[in-house]
Each structure stands twice: as structure tokens, then as C-alpha cells.
Amino acid sequence: MIRSKRPWRRFKLPLVSNSLLKTLRAKVRRITCLLERKYGVPYRKGRGDPIEILIQTILSQNTNDRNRDRAYQRLKTQFPHWEDVLRARTRTVIQAIRPGGLAEQKARRIKETLRWIKNREGEMSLAFLKKMDSDEIKKAIGDLKGIGPKTVHCLLLFGMGREAFPVDTHILRVGKRLGFIPERMSAEKAHQWMVPLIPNKKSLSLHLNLIRFGREICKAKSPQCEICFLSRECIFSYQSNFQISPLP
Ligand code: SF4
């Protein structure tokens, strides 16, 4: 089993006063409500297979959804069972997932992850995680090389129906513009930062709606500020490039 050189750890986050924490919680609650009013309340269409979620999230690193889906489809077409991936030569797996980018690195991670699963319980199943609480799962899976907080939070949220909040590139950008994630914070740290801010049982709703908002309105290069329904919460004025944040 290959373990990360930087095993799952808790980051040192900026200190915030109780009153600022309260302000941020209220802000995130208002944003969650406004997003639900506009986009509706997303619901779970059943739980995905945890191994599928894990592999898809590895494939999604540094690429867009379209390329990830192409790479995943090719992988599943060529190797219908996860054991097949494990038995295959690494270069064949690399060829299969090439459209997702970073194919050499991802192929190695996928094979190492599948080998770890198989060796741990003697079968290709993550069913053993059901008995663990979320912190134990973060430690068990998050210590694997190449598996970061986003992958683990995706597994918890989409593969296991737990409360967890993956921070992707859209959420990081929008969270900073709306002022609930500090300007210089990394996505890795933001996973831990967001834990006390998510309204109860709203992680799925906030995660999916913020991504939609980031894709449709608060785009990276050309945010549609003139039609933005969250502008009152925004600390970022794109035109004047003027930012004020109460965050450390
Ligand atoms: S006002 Fe503009 S920058 Fe602010 S959240 Fe809305 S789209 Fe994004």
C-alpha cells in the first residue's frame, strides 16, 4: 500500500472570533436559501457506487467534466470489472484514460487505490467503510497517495450519503467572491474551513447549487454581475476590481 508523504491532516486555519463565525454562518445560510429559491433543492437520486465515485474523482483532477466522463467511459468499456483494471498493464490503462489528461499519474493512482481496496478486505468492495464514522473514513482513504480532501469528500457525499462538502474550483472562486472563504485560502484548506459554516443537512444542496451558479453566472473570466441574484452578498466588484473582506 502506498501512503502519502503528507498523510491526512488537520490544517492550521486562520483564527476567527465567535462573532465573525456567526456572521459567516448567517451569510452562508442566506446564500443557501437564495440558491434554493432560484435553482430548487437538489435531491439524491440514490447513492452512487463508492468505488465508481472514487475513480471518477481521481479522473476529474485537473480536467473538466466532459473529459473526465470520456476517460471514465473508455475505462469502463475496456475494463468492465475493477479487477480487470488491476490485472491490466499500466500502459493499457493510460491509453484508456488519456482524454482525461495526466494519464500516467492517474493510471498509477487508480491501480494503487484498487490494489489497496482489494488487499484490505480480499474483495473489490468499500462496504467496510459503512461501519466507520466520517473522520475514520477521511483517515483511511485520505492517507492514500494522490487522494486529497476533495476526493474523500466526494466519496462521503455522493458515494455514502454522508454530510460532506467537496470544494472544487467553482466553489473556491465563488466562495471567495461572496466572502465566505478567505482570499488566499487553498482548496485543500477550504474543506476544513467550511465544516462549521454549512447549514445542517444542506451540504448537497449548497455544493450542487454553488457549482451551477459558478458555471452559469459567476464565471471565472466573465462573471455576469448585472444579472446576479447574489450581488448583495458579494464583496467582489469585477468592474472596479475592488475587494473588501472581513476575513483574515
Ligand atoms: S456580483 Fe458578480 S462577482 Fe459577485 S457573486 Fe455575483 S456574479 Fe459573482
pLDDT tens, residue by residue, 85-138? 999 999 999 999 999 999 999 999 999 999 999 988 889 999 999 899 998 998
- 184 and 219 both lie in a single domain: yes
CATH number at residue 188: 1.10.1670.10
Give the CA angle between residues 158, 25, 199 to the nearest 5°.
35
- 64 and 122 both lie in a single domain: yes
What is the domain range of residue 185?
18-42+166-241
H/E run at residue 214: helix 203-216
Query: Does residue 1 lie in a domain region?
Result: no
Query: Does residue 26 lie in a domain region?
Result: yes
CATH number at residue 110: 1.10.340.30
| Catalytic (active-site) positions | 150
CA 89 to centroid of ligand 1, rounded, Å: 47
- 139 and 181 both lie in a single domain: no
Query: Does residue 8 lie in a domain region?
Result: no
Interatomic CA distance for residues 197 and 211, integer angstroms: 17
For residue 34, count CB atoms less than 10 angstroms from its CB and return exposed for 0-12, middle for 13-18, buried for 19 or more. Answer: middle
- 189 and 94 both lie in a single domain: no
CA 97 to centroid of ligand 1, rounded, Å: 35
Q: 106 or 140, which is more confident?
A: 106
- 63 and 125 both lie in a single domain: yes
Q: 35 or 1, which is more confident?
A: 35
- 134 and 230 both lie in a single domain: no
Contact (CB, 8 A) for 125 and 135: no
Q: Atom 8 in ligand 1: which residue has the minimum CA distance?
A: 218
What would the pLDDT profile of 226-235 be if each residue is shown by its tens digit? Answer: 999 999 999 8
Q: Using the Cα atoms of residue 225, residue 227, residue 229 and residue 231 in order, give the sign of their dihedral.
A: positive
Q: Is the CB of 218 under 6 A from ligand 1?
A: yes
Q: Is the CB of 208 under 6 A from ligand 1?
A: no
What would the pLDDT profile of 54-88 be if each residue is shown by its tens digit? Answer: 999 999 988 888 999 999 999 999 999 999 999 99
Q: Total structural domains in the chain?
A: 2
CA 176 to centroid of ligand 1, rounded, Å: 10
Ligand 1 atom nearest to CA at 238: 3
The x, y and z cell numbers of residue 115, run together, are: 490494489
Query: Does residue 9 lie in a domain region?
Result: no
Non-local (6+) Cβ contacts of 64 within 8 A are: none
Q: Considering 159, 176, 204, which residue would you say is the last residue of a domain?
A: 159
Q: Is the CB of 180 under 6 A from ligand 1?
A: no
- 78 and 110 both lie in a single domain: yes
Query: Does residue 227 lie in a domain region?
Result: yes
- 86 and 136 both lie in a single domain: yes
- 209 and 122 both lie in a single domain: no
Instruction: Return the bridge partners of 243, or none.
Output: 236
Query: Does residue 70 lie in a domain region?
Result: yes
Measured from the Cβ of residue 119, the count of other Cβ atoms closer than 10 Å reads 9
Contact (CB, 8 A) for 110 and 55: yes
Helices (H), 40-186: 50-60, 65-78, 82-87, 90-97, 103-121, 134-142, 149-154, 169-178
- 101 and 185 both lie in a single domain: no
Q: Is the CB of 170 under 6 A from ligand 1?
A: no
Mutate to test the pocket of ligand 1, among 174, 178, 183, 232 (most ligand atoms within 8 A of CB): 178
Q: Considering 159, 188, 203, which residue would you say is the last residue of a domain?
A: 159
Contact (CB, 8 A) for 28 and 167: no
Interatomic CA distance for residues 130 and 127, integer angstroms: 6
Q: Is the CB of 230 under 6 A from ligand 1?
A: yes
Interatomic CA distance for residues 179 and 28, integer angstroms: 9
- Pick from 124, 123, 65, 125: nearest CA to 99: 65
DSSP state of 144: B
DSSP state of 198: S
pLDDT surpassing 50 at residue 242? no
- 150 and 70 both lie in a single domain: yes
Ligand 1 atom nearest to CA at 228: 6
Query: Does residue 194 lie in a domain region?
Result: yes
- 185 and 127 both lie in a single domain: no
Mutate to test the pocket of ligand 1, among 171, 234, 235, 240 (most ligand atoms within 8 A of CB): 234
Query: Does residue 114 lie in a domain region?
Result: yes
Interatomic CA distance for residues 153 and 221, integer angstroms: 27
Residue with C-alpha cell 473588501? 244
The x, y and z cell numbers of residue 175, run together, are: 466562495
Average pLDDT over residues 180-206: 95
Q: Considering 159, 185, 208, which residue would you say is the last residue of a domain?
A: 159
Q: What is the mean pLDDT of the chain?
A: 89
